[in-house]
Amino acid sequence: MSKLVEIFPSDNLQISIAYATENNFTGKPVYARAACFLHPAAAQALQKALAIAEELDLGLKIFDAYRPTEAQWKLWEHTPDPNFLAPPERGSPHSRGVAVDLTLLDAEGYELDMGTAFDAFTPLSHHGATGISAECQQNRLLLLGIMTCAGWDFYRNEWWHYQLFNSREFPLISDAESGVGMM
């Protein structure tokens, strides 16, 4: 198994790990610490996305990346909704270190309006949702373009979720196996 790579903030990258705070759909911290890790292949694709965003005078803000399998179970136990969460027995791309939840930042470091919040489990969060403003649709399409050009696939129900195309080829990683101590 490849060792996970820690991702650090930079000039055009903010990191705000939602599941290490109460500011997530469970209302309480799921992770014991706020840190951002990805599989090396995903970290490389993230660097490509950052380079593309920078060319457009934009940045990225990460809400979640590697998610230990134990955390996936906690999220599922709170909200067992397969439209927005991968069933833990099947495994999430997050628990393989090859998925990232993120948004776009403007040149001043403010989030672009995407029409819903991160982790809003509603049809308005779907790619192509028409119940949001044209500006929000354009912002989502801009994020989609940046991420797909950098080698990421998207999940149709969540404008914020991107994963490597071959995500199922990567093994699930528990907190103990990761060596990074998120839980």
* Contact (Cβ atoms closer than 8 angstroms) between residue 101 and residue 63: yes
- Report residue 136 CA to chain centroid gap: 18
Question: C-alpha angle with apex 61: 83 to 163, nearest 5 degrees?
Answer: 45
CA distances from 54 to 93, 106, 135 (A): 26, 10, 20
158 classed as catalytic: yes
Beta bridge partners of 99: 163
CB atoms within 10 A of CB 57: 9
Could you say which of 55, 70, 158, 169 is catalytic?
158
Length of the chain: 183
| DSSP code string of 43-94 | HHHHHHHHHHHHHTT-EEEEEE----HHHHHHHHHH---TTTS--TTT--GG
Catalytic residues: 158
